[in-house]
Structure 1
Amino acid sequence: MNRDDQSLPCILQEKFEEEEETADCLTTLDGTVDEKGRHAIKAKTGGWIAGAIILMTQGLATLAYFGVGVNLLLFMRRVLGQNHAEAANSVSNWTGTVYIFSLVGVFMSDSYWGRYKTCAIFQVISVLGLVSLSVSCYKFLLRPRGCGDQQNPCGSHSRLQISFFYLSIYLVALGNGGYQPNIATLWADQFDQEGQVEVAFFSYFYLVSLSLGTYSPHFSY
């Protein structure tokens, strides 16, 4: 083996190290991956665009969830005809189920789907629940029009109508419960750094969550 042949492995090793350093500069340092499972490239994935989409999604999900929750007690009393104790118990069970379903979301995220797919799947479930809840209330439970206020009770409803209503609200609980524990950490994956960026986003994140939850619409039935 001549000198050129002896120096060839060293040249290849240096080239490999340079390529590895270049790849390290292009991809994230914390090992995050994109939707296809590849190493995430900083210039093409994540950042404030993805963060803004997550922030908007969180705001809409919070508004939808609390829009259902804050009106559920009145709806069950005035439309479904439950007394105050029954309605309060139903709402408490529904709220507790949301937190139980959070455990399901965490388990599926950590063990099978990952945060991105878990958030997407449970958001679809939540949307299906909201759509079916709207259909249930409009088509079945609020007929004839004008019932459910303090003067005109809605009367009795069939068991199928009540079952469809409860299925709808528990789909909302499942979707929101599985989504909420993963959304904040999914956002953290969008930035390959720590410091003021994360502090700023989490401030916006909880500002949106708390403000929209506090000022969700209250309707009268």
Structure 2
Amino acid sequence: MATTAETPLLEEHVIDAVDHRGLAAGRSNTGRWRAAWFIIGVEVAERFAYYGIASNLITYLTGPLGQSTAAAAANVNAWSGFSSLLPVLGAFVADAFLGRYRTIIISSLIYVLGLALLSLSAFLVPITSENKSPSSLLNVLFFFSLYMVAIGQSGHKPCVQAFGADQFDEKDPQERNHRSSFFNYWYLSLSAGVCLALVVVVYIQEAVSWALGFGIPCVFMLVSLALFVLGRRSYRYSKRRQENEINPFTRIGSALLAPDSCSDSDVEDATALVRLIPVWLTTFTYAIVYAQYMTFFTKQGVTMERTILPGLKIPAASLQLLIGISIVFFVPIYERVMVPIARSVTKDPCGITTLRRIGTGMVLATLTMIVAALVESKRLEIAKEHGLIDQPETTLPMSIWWLIPQYLLLGLADVFTLVGMQEFFYSQVPTELRSIGLAFYLSALGVGSLLSGWLISVIDLATGGDAGNSWLNSNLNKAHLDYFYWLLAVISAVGFSVFLFISKSYVYRRVDGV
């Protein structure tokens, strides 16, 4: 009888959310897919902007800025790592002080300013420099602008996704299942934005102008901000803490330091956060593999035959489009075919647990590195056969389509591991800290990128740099990227083994009211 009495209230209002006026959020006129698609559209624009810069950054660094391949790859990894680690700070500000909505607005403005300055720096390069080495001041402006973009993303990235997932009430069984689907369609949609950037922006950067290629993402970010504000009446907002309530970070900290003086609920929340740390650490190995597609995968493609029509060459960075295609193609198959089949076997509403999903992607990542190593061995063999070892500017008689399998495999791995990580870290933290949960996922990618950059620097130094027989020589025909890929395959396999051991004993967080 108690359940019957509570049902009408559950149907009319969402317990822990309010609308834009601060009133109880109605279930029928706020949130769910109507609001979620609005927020997904904002993320598509942001991903278009981010990948409009990131996907071809190594080409800009080794081209107009004149850096070596190893230095450029390390710089890309450092920036990517910084971009993925900073969301921890942005999420803290959102969850502890500003709230997700305000944080998104402020960080978006910083993002737009960074993109505008980046466009300006690229515009000034041909004016101030007749060679490939622009002035130190221009380099400072470029990297200042680049890291301002990272600061803008720090508040935007974790908060937008958490805000989107907040549109589904986890205490309602139907909406909880829809939230699981949200993470799948979220990643599918943002992949579409990435694909658009790889087709349009990368081509403009290489064929028309780098300044225009950086300027277009700036316009898209302005559009995304306007779109986000336009949808504010349809959103569900988490209830703000009352002044007499304890900050969630203080509450969790107290439960960790003095559990005997705290409630069972606080201790359970604190324990749930601690349990995440071993899982988080094991995902670093996947993140190291993930970091390669924006650096060495692209540099491989530059050396290969890229002509698709007479007089028309495909930009090497555009092959990253295959990752997005793989995701767009496979997510509906996973959602509509694999999940129902798995659900009938496992009785899990999501088909398979999030940890099993993450582990599957880690296995695919190992396979990706094995395939990449074999393809690179073939590329080096062709360079040797045709006497092109000392002619790095000469295109090898080997089609860039040889790289298709490693891109498609990495996209498939993303469907499992990255989407799984998003849902896992969102669902396994207390409600008040879900921006932090998603920042956990992003920070794993950030640490992986930094580790990749560190590994590149160490290997380049240990094997002699460009003056020696470096595995990562700027002349890739003299390098041994295949050795580097084999090393990453081993690291990935070891990481999966540790992950498997840890995940077997993991206890999922209990959802109240379900």
Q: Could you tell me the TM-score, scaled by structure 1's length?
A: 0.75
Q: What residue is the counterpart of 2:182 in the other structure?
A: 201
Q: What residue is the counterpart of 1:11 in the other structure?
A: none
| Secondary structure class of the residue paired with 2:27 | coil
One-letter code aligned to 2:179: E
Structure 2: distance between partners of 1:40 and 1:134: 42
| Secondary structure class of the residue paired with 2:106 | helix
1:69 aligns with 2:46: no
Preserved CA contact (<8 Å) 1:35 1:116 = no
Q: Deviations over 1:51-106 (max 9, x none)?
A: 12211111111111111111111101110111112211211110110122111111
Q: What residue is the counterpart of 1:121 in the other structure?
A: 106
Higher RCO (Cα < 8 Å, 6 or more apart): 1
1:27 aligns with 2:27: no
Preserved CA contact (<8 Å) 2:122 2:142 = yes
Q: 1:37 to 1:113 in 2, by over 3 A?
A: farther
Q: How many residues align?
A: 194
Q: Deviations over 1:3-25 (max 9, x none)?
A: xxxxxxxxxxxxxxxxxx99876
Q: 1:108: Cα distance to partner?
A: 0.7
Q: 1:136: Cα distance to partner?
A: 1.8
1:99 aligns with 2:76: no
Q: What residue is the counterpart of 1:143 in the other structure?
A: 127
Q: What residue is the counterpart of 1:132 in the other structure?
A: 117
Q: 1:70 to 1:25 in 2, by over 3 A?
A: closer
One-letter code aligned to 1:209: L
Q: What residue is the counterpart of 1:18 in the other structure?
A: none
Q: 1:135: Cα distance to partner?
A: 2.0
1:164 aligns with 2:148: no
Preserved CA contact (<8 Å) 2:52 2:197 = yes
One-letter code aligned to 2:125: L
Q: 1:211: Cα distance to partner?
A: 4.2
Q: 1:122: Cα distance to partner?
A: 1.6
Alignment RMSD, CA only? 2.8
Preserved CA contact (<8 Å) 2:168 2:176 = no
| Secondary structure class of the residue paired with 2:127 | coil
| Secondary structure class of the residue paired with 1:32 | strand
Q: 1:32: Cα distance to partner?
A: 1.3
Gaps of 5+ in 2: 1-6, 208-514
Structure 1: distance between partners of 2:159 and 2:114: 19
Q: 1:24 to 1:197 in 2, by over 3 A?
A: closer
Query: Which of these residues, 167, 188, 191, is aligned with residue 168 of structure 2?
Result: 191
| Secondary structure class of the residue paired with 1:181 | helix
Q: 1:134: Cα distance to partner?
A: 1.4
The percentage of aligned residue pairs carrying the same residue is 32
**As a proportion of its length, which structure holds more strand?**
2
Q: Could you tell me the TM-score, scaled by structure 2's length?
A: 0.34
Preserved CA contact (<8 Å) 1:126 1:171 = yes
Q: 1:41 to 1:216 in 2, by over 3 A?
A: same
Q: 1:162 to 1:36 in 2, by over 3 A?
A: farther
Preserved CA contact (<8 Å) 1:32 1:39 = yes
Query: Which of these residues, 174, 180, 193, is aligned with residue 212 of structure 1?
Result: 193
Preserved CA contact (<8 Å) 2:165 2:182 = no
One-letter code aligned to 1:71: N
Structure 1: distance between partners of 2:10 and 2:186: 30
Q: 1:181 to 1:68 in 2, by over 3 A?
A: same
1:180 aligns with 2:161: no
Q: 1:34 to 1:94 in 2, by over 3 A?
A: same
